A and B are shown apart, each in its own frame.
Chain A
Amino acid sequence: GAGVSQSPSNKVTEKGKDVELRCDPISGHTALYWYRQRLGQGLEFLIYFQGNSAPDKSGLPSDRFSAERTGESVSTLTIQRTQQEDSAVYLCASSIVAPTTDTDTQYFGPGTRLTVL
């Protein structure tokens, strides 16, 4: 596709349920990023993939959160046993090479709005 896509665009779930959020990066982009933005608050970095590997998972808020990427393409962010504080917009971005490359630009998806009741 032309840009980063995320699905679903909206997700309402009950506390305690598991949810899976999907990100489809721009084709050919080797770097992929997940962020979270709680309502009215700032940005929070979750995880960065270089290829299929995430060198640092310490940004994930708790062990209920996990992320994987396959085929240097689609990535899924899974939240187990959701809590109300997980309610947020989850943003995905991708870039061609790596954020530390001078000419590399991140392109963001529209986000998934997660509401935990």
Chain B
Amino acid sequence: AQSVAQPEDQVNVAEGNPLTVKCTYSVSGNPYLFWYVQYPNRGLQFLLKYITGDNLVKGSYGFEAEFNKSQTSFHLKKPSALVSDSALYFCAVMGYNFNKFYFGSGTKLNVKP
């Protein structure tokens, strides 16, 4: 079965500190992994994805994610958090036939000044 877990409903971090939003997955075959962000009262935006190649993927707004096959994880990271990063983050995986997405439950990131 294909699934994604975001174990933290909420992550709190101080501005300027590094942030990590966790994501683990279960999928048959090679995973295609995605991160999306939903800012308050704004639309959903694509952040980054892992298809193949380098395990460290760089995306928008200074975010990056590291694919770890042995731990079946795809954690989202940023070296220095901004208050404007406060938003809801979703991790997703494409299923084995690459025609369907499976989403995690979302993690609310709060960055405090």
Task: List residues of A whose CB falls within 8 A of some B CB.
Answer: 33, 35, 42-45, 48, 55-56, 58-59, 91, 93, 99-102, 105-111
Contact = CB atoms under 8 A, between A and B. Distances in A.
Interface of B: 32, 34, 36, 43-46, 49, 51-53, 90, 92, 94, 97-106
Q: Chain B binding site: helix, strand, loop or mixed by DSSP?
A: strand
A45 B101 contact: yes
Contacts of A105: 46
B98 A100 contact: yes
Contact of A56 (B49, B99, B104): B99
B99 A48 contact: yes
A102 B46 CA distance: 13
A37 to B, nearest CB: 8
Nearest to A55: B99
Contacts of B102: 45
A41 to B, nearest CB: 8
A100 B43 contact: no
30 contacts: A33-B101, A35-B44, A42-B104, A43-B36, A43-B90, A45-B100, A45-B101, A45-B103, A48-B99, A48-B100, A56-B97, A58-B100, A59-B101, A93-B46, A99-B49, A99-B98, A100-B32, A100-B94, A100-B98, A101-B51, A102-B49, A102-B51, A102-B52, A106-B46, A107-B46, A108-B43, A108-B44, A108-B45, A109-B43, A111-B43
